[in-house]
Amino acid sequence: MARDVHAQLAGVTRVYPGGGEHPPVHALGPVDLDLHKGEFFAVVGPSGCGKSTLLEVLAGLQRPTAGTVTFEGKAVSGEVADGIGVVFQEDASFPWLTVWDNAAFGLRRSGVAESKLRRRVDDALAFMGLKDFARAYPSQLSGGMRQRVCIARTLVLEPRLILLDEPFGALDAQTRLLMGDEVLRLWRQTGATVLLITHALDEAAMLADRIGAMSARPGCFIEIIETGWPNGRDSTIVAEPAFGEITGRLWERLRGESLKALGHSSLAQSAPPSALAAE
């Protein structure tokens, strides 16, 4: 079932140049990825494997050291293309604006008519369950709600590709599952292509059509797993046996990589990691 390729990474590598006392860091790649139109793709991998770098390169926030990035047939380089929306790991809500003004922020700058802007913002806030908090300031809201404000701000721009960088990292486990339901709802409603970065295997297994398991740094895809979930899924699929299989398979591929990632950080200690590498 050949579907349109919406965005593509071909042979992408990212090396952070060294500076002064720091040697260059080969953070990512080489990575090949075809994102199909309207699919939900999750990227999982150990910390430091370059997942966030992959997202930023895809978004146009960083240039790859090698390889090409394309979105809707056009090359992506150096600037964020129109039609791409990004939700970051850190809280990027602007504390000096109300929730409403935060959501309206991106659209304001693009010269859309006031009435249209108002409608889009109201719809986005209603969709994210923030209608009652339109006049509140982010500092008055919880972390999860602030992330929803950021998502609303992205939604208002009606992106065709939505990139989410561990958006629920700071939240507790139950809230994460519920937010997962929200993201699925968002995905179905907008019909956008979604790329979600997460370190939580269960989150990836529950949300995605396809999951890319990434190796330890420099990150490359070890395997891409197809989940085969129906479109109308929600968090209750965690009860399905297939869910357990998928998570099990992911861990099988990633356990060794996670150990390697841990081994990298323990280079500073004297104990040799050789015992850990024994497989």
Partner 1 sequence: MTATRRALDTLAILLAILAIWEVLHRVAGETALPAPAETLSYLIRTVPTARFAENAAATAAAFGLALILAYGIGLAIGIWMGAHRLSGAVGEPILVSLYSLPKITLYPVVLLIFGLGLSAKVAFGAMHGILPVALLTMGAIRAIPPVYLRAARTLHLSPWQTITTVLLPAALPEVFTGLRIGFTVTLLGVLLGEMFASKAGLGYMIMNAMSLAQSKEMVAVAIVLFGFAALANALLLWIEHRLHQRV
Binding site for partner 1 (CB under 8 A): 56, 59, 61, 79-80, 82, 84-86, 88-92, 94-97, 105-106, 109-110, 137, 139, 150, 153-154, 157
By the 10 Å C-beta count (0-12 exposed, 13-18 middle, 19+ buried), 80 is classed as middle
Q: Is beta strand 40-44 parallel, antiparallel or unpaired with respect to 193-198?
A: parallel
CB of 86 to partner 1, least distance (A): 4
Cβ partners under 8 Å of residue 18, min gap 6:
24, 25
Nearer to partner 1, 89 or 258 (CB): 89
Give the HSE-up count for residue 194: Cα atoms under 13 Å, Cβ half-sphere: 31
What CA–CA distance (Å, rounded) separates 84 from 52? 16
CB of 92 to partner 1, least distance (A): 4
CB of 106 to partner 1, least distance (A): 4
Inter-axis angle of helices 99-109 and 114-127, nearest 10 = 130
CB of 109 to partner 1, least distance (A): 6
Nearer to partner 1, 165 or 203 (CB): 165
CB of 105 to partner 1, least distance (A): 6
Give yes or no for a cis peptide into 167 (omega within 30° of 0).
no
Nearer to partner 1, 102 or 198 (CB): 102
What CA–CA distance (Å, rounded) separates 187 from 119? 20
